[in-house]
Chains A and B, each alone.
Chain A
């Protein structure tokens, strides 16, 4: 490592690189962190596991000086870290990679990395030296990225590498990664894990924040579990199991809903040779064939950006195919709009809850009628029926177990899982025949994800056909009846989930395998 003094003594029994003692942080009545004490040893990957709202991010914000703890203190490399100063944290060798990147899109990689480390008044910039140093670091840790490129043009994985380089460039010996895999494709996750392992082999220490058990089991040496602000477990990874961690995280055993086989219903959605192009004429969907029946869940796997957005837009009523036939319940779709799709009996669960699913500034009762505000149920001669809307909200909150909400709560205040339940309540109570579920459990904790899956199973039992788009293969294997892979706008022949295996799907996701080209290859025996 160039220019970084290794202050951490190595070997067994060494003093921890980072010691958090009795950290407590309250926000009003809420105790986000309750007397948390935690050590990070040199050369280890410590996973910080917990559901949304367990206090992981708060704890790391305190560590990095964004917040000041109400009680407790932090030692880095044996020295007391002054509270509330990111500068002190950086000087102490702590680097943070935020979940939402903090990069200047219009600057080059080099500028982003160097930003803030140069003297304010210097006659000229010593870019050659910085470039050499970045090249060294990049090569050393396998973080290849061209320093001359603009961040705007980088993929998400590359941006993350820039963030890590940024921390290393500032001499970080302890790296905190906040949900680093949330934005990555499976292959990129692999690459990231390799990088992390190289780094700890070099004597760096890493705190890896996650709520995904598989990843924690795969990469961590030790795992600390937070629940409702308290540290409820601290295990070496070898002495624990996924099940034990899940239980520690949630506080009780979680029962994942079980998929029960059901007779197929009639065809509800059909795409035959559908091509959809973007404004530049590039085919986002390329002669896609798809057949969805009632009472089935068709899982669409694939690395994001392979046409999922276009497929979702088509079924959401935001786009029409440029070529090919598009039928819902046997009716050809000639004109489209979100409203037209609702009238066709399509229920749509959008990918981004915050941006398109709900309106955060409106109340829960208002979000529950977002799609049906004009229907005679909720509206009379242009006036909203306040009483009916209030009763509707009470009933939905009860039936869909939307927690922390009364009808007038601002929707923004809800957790991701409860926000998703608001969307599901709105969509499913219209008894849709076709349901588009685009990443319905992304970012949700185990309990909320289980509830979402249970609701999808209920809709399936009532006869709906569900198109489930997800990047989480394990979820797809658990929930879907059939699985197909989307790759560069083309769909593989769907296979029954019993015949699907991770290896074949993984190969398909990287474009190796058979993709249907002609009509009739829908995967149904019929």
Chain B
């Protein structure tokens, strides 16, 4: 087999190629399910039902998708500018820390001001955290992959210190958790008796915002230009440093809001397990979406559905729920490979 470049990419291929890749991923994992000793069709039925089969399942999936949309956007925006922000997890915790600081009694405002305030302080904290490695990158050419990644642990350990020390809630029976967010700051549920909360709406709104920002503003144009070709962008007179800093604030801010979303919408108080790696999964979400902000919504829901569905499948079939990780990883690899077939035509001799 050989690959030849395509002169024109048919539009349908842009959609069918990734979908085909996802189907292939399911086919591959079917083998693993068989190996684990479960029948395929009932297993996948359990998965789909667990993800979308009831109001409860659907709202749970969307609840899980909300923080993934935020962290996915954070990665998508940064990667667009070729800023390799691997620190979404740390920025998420930074956002949650800031929201805890302001949201546990320091200020009390009516909900329509309190909630935006929490998102704002969370975004600022996440953005400022990313600013540190980015300034090091710009001034001293320190590789941001390493610094953003390692900052995750710094922030996590700092949160650890706070939760075991000064911020420990005396009413929490000794558990390492902070005081709860005041009622004015809590994101209200969208569906009665379900966990799905307003944070999902905020996530969708910010996806649309990020898309419009990148597409229609001068700064967004500069982010794209610098990402595609920094040399040409600099030659054309674009401010490279300022563009990268703006990208960092935006990306870190979005990741910080993921922390606020989880804290004020789901948990209610800060703990050390507020994120099961949403910051890292956000990278997969962004790649799966081809770094398109609106695509992030779909891919975040897809990944959330797989995780929720796989939990249900593992309970129903008594097989390991690690299959969710395998399934998303396979889907991601195959979708990335499918990009190759969009750009090149495979030919058999």
Contact = CB atoms under 8 A, between A and B. Distances in A.
Interface of A: 27-30, 67-68, 83-84, 316-318, 337-339, 342, 348, 350, 355-362, 366, 370-371, 373-374, 379, 382-384, 386
Contact of B6 (A28, A68, A373, A382): A28
A169 B167 CA distance: 74
A337 B229 CA distance: 18
Nearest to B228: A361
A427 to B, nearest CB: 10
Contact of A355 (B8, B221, B232): B232
Contacts of B349: 68, 83-84
B4 A362 contact: no
A356 B225 contact: no
A313 B221 CA distance: 25
A290 to B, nearest CB: 22
B225 A359 contact: yes
B217 A384 contact: yes
Contacts of A379: 218
Given A366-B221, A370-B225, A28 B8 contact: yes
A84 B2 CA distance: 9
Contacts of B225: 359, 362, 366, 370
24 contacts: A27-B6, A30-B7, A67-B4, A68-B2, A68-B347, A68-B349, A83-B349, A317-B237, A337-B237, A338-B234, A338-B236, A342-B237, A350-B235, A358-B232, A361-B228, A366-B225, A370-B225, A370-B233, A370-B236, A370-B238, A371-B236, A373-B222, A374-B218, A384-B221
Nearest to A378: B218
**5 nearest A-B residue pairs (beta carbon):** A338-B237, A339-B237, A370-B236, A361-B228, A359-B229
B216 interface: yes
B219 interface: yes
A357 B222 contact: no
A348 B235 contact: yes
Contacts of B229: 355, 359-361
Q: How large is the interface on B (under 10, 10 to 19, 20 to 34, 35 or more residues)?
A: 20 to 34
Interface in B335-349: 347, 349
Given A358-B232, A359-B232, A379-B218, 7 more contacts: A29-B8, A317-B237, A338-B234, A361-B229, A373-B222, A383-B218, A384-B217
The interface centre, meaning the residue of B8, B222, B225, B232 with most chain A CB atoms within 10 A of its CB, is B232
Nearest to A353: B232
A348 B237 CA distance: 11
B216 A383 contact: yes
Interface of B: 2, 4-8, 216-219, 221-222, 224-225, 228-229, 231-238, 347, 349
Given A28-B8, A30-B7, A373 B221 contact: yes
Contacts, number: 76
The interface centre, meaning the residue of B5, B7, B229, B238 with most chain A CB atoms within 10 A of its CB, is B229
B344 to A, nearest CB: 11
Nearest to A318: B235
Contact of A360 (B224, B228, B237): B228
A382 B219 contact: yes
A485 to B, nearest CB: 26
Nearest to B224: A362
Contacts of A362: 224-225, 228
Given A28-B6, A382-B218, A355 B231 contact: yes
A318 B5 CA distance: 36
A366 B219 CA distance: 13
Given A30-B7, A356-B232, A386 B216 contact: yes
Given A342-B237, A359-B225, A370 B232 contact: yes
B172 to A, nearest CB: 46
Contacts of A373: 218, 221-222, 238
Contact of B7 (A28, A337, A366, A386): A28
Contacts of B234: 338
A361 B233 CA distance: 12
Contacts of B347: 68
The interface centre, meaning the residue of B7, B222, B235, B349 with most chain A CB atoms within 10 A of its CB, is B235
Contacts of B222: 373
Nearest to B229: A359
Contacts of B231: 355-356
B2 A316 contact: no
The interface centre, meaning the residue of B219, B222, B237, B349 with most chain A CB atoms within 10 A of its CB, is B237
A370 B221 CA distance: 9
B233 A359 contact: yes
Nearest to B239: A339
A382 B217 contact: yes
Contacts of A317: 237
Contacts of A83: 349
A27 B218 contact: no
Contacts of A316: 235
Contacts of A361: 228-229
A370 B232 CA distance: 9
A27 B4 contact: yes
A386 B220 CA distance: 13
A32 to B, nearest CB: 9
A81 to B, nearest CB: 15
Given A366-B221, A370-B225, A379-B218, A356 B235 contact: yes
B161 to A, nearest CB: 41
B188 to A, nearest CB: 33
A420 to B, nearest CB: 14
A318 B234 CA distance: 9
A5 B2 CA distance: 32
Contacts of B236: 338, 370-371
A348 B229 CA distance: 17
B269 to A, nearest CB: 38
A374 B2 CA distance: 45
A57 to B, nearest CB: 12
A409 to B, nearest CB: 11
A347 B267 CA distance: 58
A348 B217 CA distance: 25
B254 to A, nearest CB: 19
Contacts of B7: 27-30
